[in-house]
Structure 1
Amino acid sequence: MRQARRDWFRSAVVYQVYPRSFADSNGDGIGDIPGIIGKLDYLKRLGVDVVWLSPVYRSPHDDNGYDISDYQDIDPVFGSLADLNELIAGLHQRGMKLIMDLVVNHTSDEHPWFAESRASKDSPKRDWYWWRPARPGCQPGVPGAEPNNWGSFFSGPAWQYDEATGEYFLHLFSKKQPDLNWENAEVRAAVYSMMNWWLDRGVDGFRMDVINFISKDPSLPDGPVRGGGLYGDGAASFISGPRIHEYLHEMHEQVFSGRDGALLTVGEMPGVTVEDAALFTDPERAEVDMVFQFEHVGLDHDGSKWKPKRLRLTDLKASLGRWQDGLAERGWNSLYWGNHDQPRVVSRFGDDGAYRETSAKMLAGILHLHRGTPYIYQGEELGMTNMAFASIAEHRDIEVLNHYREATETLNEAPAVVLAAIAPLNRDNARTPVQWVAGPDGGFTTGTPWIAVNPNAAEINAEEQAGQDDSVLNFYRRLIALRHGMPIVAQGDFTMLLPDDESVYAFTRTYEGTELLVLGNFTPREQTVDIGDPLWAGAERILGNYPDAHGLDLRAWEFTALIRSTN
């Protein structure tokens, strides 16, 4: 059983750094660790408590670092272990923590473990990965001979044929990202040893990439084929699989048990249910502190992110409200709009035109005042927007490139149609560099950026916003200060209001004789709000995105938070 754990993260705010796009210190066009070190005072002034660092390990960068070839070294493109030591020290000196991205569902195919596994069927590490022969009666290496019909998240089959040994290996993502076999106790021991090595170096925890995929049904059955697709959906065999709770508890016992309770463990878990999340995050079960779930960011597309549809606010409230209720008694929520896998929230759920600043503030206020730990994705605090990519040549994301190739070459879709479908939700939207100044390439680099800087950096940048009291950046600072200074934000109960209203998001938080009312208008039209309690109209406004109070009637994209005593 884990030690009594401090709940410090309830009042904390996490900031995600995608290092490739954050700040470039040496002019090679790629962000790096020294670049991050140069921005630590910026993060301190913002007020965040934890920095989540996307992968900086050695990697061939088939998936921008989420394909790791050495877990215990830094890729030279990002710097060195000495640089990381300096980053850890710099964060700690400023009262902030560092959590590393942990990617252990799969490795790179260039990792020594896989090289040895691939060497022969008799290799001692053969069973460290999922190797299987072709389907009975099928010619190995031809389409349809794969061991099962699972499709990869990055298009195509989830199996790659290896001519040298005549078998296939499983890769739920890129063919250069073979899945580790967690059924093998030696794999688990090696992972735990690596995690302990990082904690001993001063890292404060991990955000664990697709961690609920590590347990797979060993029989690897076929999955259903939906919507005329070419491949089946194997999710039922690997999303929160048969031994996942056992593995996460074992990880806790082998890595975190007996260490300082100020560590943080976050499980990214696509497809996780509320019920499972309550188990994963129940402190008494000793698994993880919180989960990243994806239900709410799946509401604006029709089964596939390449088939976008309009978000219904009632669906968003129903989803987030269900998670608030489901983890109210035990467990804890992660709160986020964006990350390196999601488009820019102001373009997605707000108005990135005339009301960009107003809607960016409204979205921030609504999210951060829920019950849970908020996450800020780099540039979100500036109201950065999606990028208008003119051609497929401007894209860098392997998911986009694979989909475009399959759609245009295999399915014969028109390139312009595919590009239009890709535009709203593709991952490159979030990966354009942070816009620091109005100058060339937004001050991100003195060289040629690895992916183009959004041309609107001249209008949207940190330097300009730092000096504007009403900027999106300074609104975020006030919002973070509320969480730090008002126990009701971190500890209060949550009650959803107006669940059937398609325009206004409304909820209350209550704690020890104090009640907080939070309202957000998700439209450019004025809204009259009736929550059945007219006394709220005279309550104290503690934060808003307009300079003056306006009672309970909301102007375009207005956010307001009111507080009163219930004693």
Structure 2
Amino acid sequence: MQDTTSEDDDPAHVDRAWWKESVVYQIYPRSFNDSDGDGVGDIPGIIEKLDYLDDLGIDIVWLNPVYESPNADNGYDIADYRSIMDEFGTMDDWEALLEGLHERDIRLIMDLVVNHSSDEHAWFTKSRDPDSDYRDYYIWRQGRTDVDGFTGHEGPEHEAPPNEWGSFFGGPAWAYDEESERWYMHLFDEKQPDLNWENPDVRDDVFEMMEWWLEKGIDGFRMDVINLVSKPDSITQHDPPHVHDDFGGTIDGPKVHDYIGEMGDRVLADRDVFTVGEMIGQEMSMEEALSYVGENGDGLDTLFHFDHVLLDQGENIWDYHEYDLGELKRVFSRWQNGLFPEGWNSLYLSNHDQPRLVSRFGDDGEYREESAKLLATLLFTLRGTPYVFQGAEIGMTNYPFESLSEFRDVETINPVRDALDSGHVGSFEEVKGGLRENSRDNARTPVQWSDDENAGFTDGEPWINVNPNHQEINVEAAREDPASVWNYYRRLIDTRKGNDVLVYGEYDQYYHDHGRLWAYTRTLGDELALVLLNFAERKTAFELPDSLREELDDTTAELLLGNYDAADGPPVEHDVDALALRPWESRVYRLR
């Protein structure tokens, strides 16, 4: 939470912090590197690749959950917050990982998953007893019996769930427990019961667990769906529940700032750690965002919003339409300007919950490498902390799924099975195209280390299929090619670290309505940088505004980085009055 230097210490009068100047690399351990041949990535496998992360220039590793879990949601259903899953290794392995990262000056942040636990967590098994001290650790309710025409859903005959909320993973947000003869809330999978943050004992145990990990030496937390922890009063106060078509106030709930503020005061204050909160929902106001991350907010350093990754989404997991560049620019610009100057952005285009960025926002065919480099240029030249999801640095693509049996993700499988069973969808073929575009499993195929069998990920049978294009797209080949996506990432990281204007500079956008061109400047004191991005598979010609044309024509202008190799021709035409970008070309200029 603390900044390591102040404005008074800096000649450019910027509010410096190590996490603002860092590059974060996200590791989904199940798919990163398998050391023992069981087909599942593990912590020793990560340790084997620490020099790889160091060579790339990474400053922070965000490690997805490695805690004890039955894996209903691949580790996001935690059965013991202080134990390591056997498939991933031991606590000794984890401590060796932390030591190895710190030896290389790489920090580690862990996933904090406390909106819900696993139904196999000791808290939940004890809470099944109505007389237990743990009963109020979760949200238990009696069902409704006054619903006309209700046929029941895995509950007693003629009894409906407490309200009509649906789970994010399909079906109702309530599951009936035979032992308790009551329903419990689960906004995600039914094996992920929601914790009752209204109970101060829950908060005490969560905060104590966070202290335990911080004392072990971690450098912060990524907080999973943290803005869901406060449920509406009608739920938390045990009043008769209302009937809703949505979550009726669960997103950014009535006491969410009380709870996160308490976390800040009791756990995070006066610690030099990095915190990022995942804020589920769409079109959060800047006022609400700053209430989490602003100077007078709850104490989080930054947040993940969902606005840009919902642009191509529909009601169902298989609904897909291409994103509009104008909307993408609008969303990013809204956050760039809205959080300036007191808040800080998290910059991402992919993660474990999203498809591969080059398949989604770029061109994973003819211009795969060019568009992968352009998208990286975007992330590394905006104001905020950039995140690299494993495999993005070599331009990994979506997987060509052919059957439902190839998927592993409950967010994909459950809704499709429900739709097939209900007749809403006639066959898998009807939804295959959309699932290929949208499914989270696209991001979870193993990292492609080489062109060997199973892409060098494992000597065994991988838990999920390896992308067949690993023979062409892999780390080994990319590191040997000076013009590869991987080597471009290295240059981008070096360029960002060597130019404060790309970290702290103010953002100004040009050509707001242009359908192919994204152009913006970053300004910090007397420094000025210009970024030009052509989101198209054809040449885009344009004229710069007079002020920028004068700057670009000045003898002090310098091309810091371009994504076309020098062998492809000169990076910029000499006539700035007729500037043109090649397909998916990106350029970063330092003008002064």
Which TM-score band (shorter chain)?
over 0.9
**Distance of 2:310 and 2:317 partners within structure 1:** 8
In 1, Cα distance between equivalents of 2:317 and 2:306 = 12
Query: Which one-letter code corresponds to 2:584 in the other structure?
Result: W
Could you tell me whether the CA contact under 8 Å between 1:436 and 1:461 is conserved in 2? yes
Where does the alignment leave 5 or more consecutive residues of structure 2 unmatched?
6-16, 236-240, 574-578
Once the 2 structures are TM-superposed, how far is the Cα of residue 540 of structure 1 from its aligned partner?
1.4
Residues 536, 562 of structure 1: 8 Å contact kept: no
Q: Which residue of 1 aligns with 2:137?
A: 128
Q: CA deviation at 1:101?
A: 0.6
In structure 2, do the counterparts of structure 1 residues 145 and 369 end up closer, same or farther at CA, with 3 Å as the change threshold?
same
CA offset at residue 284 of structure 1? Answer: 3.6
Tell me: CA distance 1:384–1:142, structure 2 relative to 1, closer, same or farther (3 Å). farther
**Pairing 1:549–2:571 present:** yes
Give the Cα–Cα distance (whole angstroms) in 1 for the partners of residues 265 and 200 of structure 2.
14
More off after superposition, 66-75 vs 283-292: 283-292
- Cα shift readout 1:464-516 (whole Å, capped 9, x = no counterpart): 11111110001001111122111101110101111101101111001121111
1:186 to 194, 197, 201: 201
Q: Which SS does the other structure have where 1:489 is aligned? A: helix
CA deviation string 1:198-229 (max 9, x = no partner): 000011110000000001113035465xxxxx
**1:408–1:418 Cα contact (<8 Å) kept:** no
Aligned equivalents of 1:330 and 1:240: distance in 2?
21
Task: Measure the CA separation in 2 of the matches of 1:143 and 1:211.
Answer: 35
**What does residue 215 of structure 1 align with?**
230
Q: 1:286 deviation in Å?
A: 4.4
**517-526 or 301-310, which moves further after superposition?**
301-310
Q: Which residue of 2 aligns with 1:443?
A: 456
Give the equivalent residue in structure 1 for 2:358. 346
Match of residue 286 from structure 2: 274
Name which of 447, 456, 469 aligns with 1:434: 447
Cα-to-partner distance string for 1:24-81 (whole Å, 9 max, x where unaligned): 0000000000000000000001101000000000000000000000000100100010
Matched to 1:10, the amino acid is: K
- Compute the displacement of 1:20 (Å): 0.1
Which residue in the other structure is 2:97 paired with?
A: 87
Partner of residue 180, structure 2 = 165
8 Å Cα contact 2:234-2:242 kept in structure 1: no
CA shift, 1:535, in A, is 2.8
- Return the alpha-carbon distance in structure 1 between the equivalents of residues 475 and 208 of structure 2: 40
User: Quick one: distance in 2 between partners of 1:388 and 1:535?
Assistant: 48
Q: How far apart, CA to CA, are the structure 2 residues paired with 1:421 and 1:479?
A: 33
Alignment of 1:34-433 (within 5 A): 34-118=44-128, 120-137=129-146, 141-142=156-157, 145-220=160-235, 221-222=241-242, 224=244, 232-234=245-247, 236-259=248-271, 261=272, 263-271=273-281, 272-413=284-425, 414-433=427-446
What is the letter of the counterpart of residue 588 of structure 2?
A
Distance across 2 between alignment mates of 1:412 and 1:217: 32
Q: Which deviates more from structure 2 when the two are superposed, residues 450-459 or residues 269-278?
A: 269-278
Contact 1:366 1:519 in 2 (8 A): no
- Cα deviation, 1:446-478, whole Å, max 9, x if unaligned, reads 000000100111100111111111100010011
Q: Percent identity?
A: 50
Opposite residue 346 of structure 1, the aligned amino acid is: V
**Post-superposition offset of 1:307:** 1.3
Q: 1:493 aligns with which of 501, 506, 520?
A: 506
Measure the CA separation in 2 of the matches of 1:22 and 1:360. Answer: 20
TM-fit CA distance, 1:433:
0.2
Match of 1:505 among 487, 501, 518: 518
For residues 307-338 of structure 1, the C-alpha deviation after alignment (integer angstroms, 9 at most, x for no partner) is: 11121100001111001111002111000000
1:372 Cα offset (Å): 0.3
Question: Deviations 1:97-149 (Å, cap 9, x if unpaired)?
Answer: 0000110000000000000001x211111111000001254685358711111
Q: In 2, distance between residues paired with 1:193 and 1:469?
A: 48
Mapped to 2, the partners of 1:134 and 1:214 lie a distance apart of 22
Please tell me whether the aligned partners of residues 552 and 591 of structure 2 are also in contact (alpha carbons under 8 angstroms).
no
Partner of 1:229: none
The CA deviation at 1:420 is 2.2
Which residue identity does 1:124 align to in structure 2?
Answer: D
1:10 and 2:20 matched: yes
Residue 269 to residue 496, structure 1, CA distance change in 2 (3 Å): same
Check the 8 A contact 2:145/2:158 in 1, yes or no: no
User: Are the equivalent residues in 2 in contact too, given 1:12–1:483 (CA < 8 A)?
Assistant: no
Cα pair 1:495 1:507 within 8 Å, conserved: yes
Quickly say closer, same or farther: Cα 1:143–1:57, change in 2 above 3 A: farther
After TM superposition, the score normalised by the length of structure 2 is 0.91
How far apart are the structure 2 equivalents of 1:17 and 1:97? Answer: 13
Corresponding residue SS for 1:307: coil
Give the Å deviation of 1:276: 1.2
* Matches of 1:170 and 1:279, distance apart in 2: 27
Counterpart for residue 545 of structure 2 = 532
Q: CA RMSD, aligned part only?
A: 1.5
Q: Does 1:467 align with 2:494?
A: no
3-state SS of 1:77 partner: helix
Q: Give the Cα separation in 1 of the matches to 2:232 and 2:342.
A: 28
Counterpart CA distance in 2 for 1:132 and 1:169 is 6
Q: How many residue pairs align between the two structures?
A: 553
Please report how far the alpha carbon of residue 536 of structure 1 lies from its aligned counterpart in structure 2 after TM superposition: 4.8
The one-character-per-residue Cα deviations of 1:1-29 (angstroms, maximum 9, x if unpaired) are x8666511111110000000000000000
Distance 1:373 1:108 in 2: 31
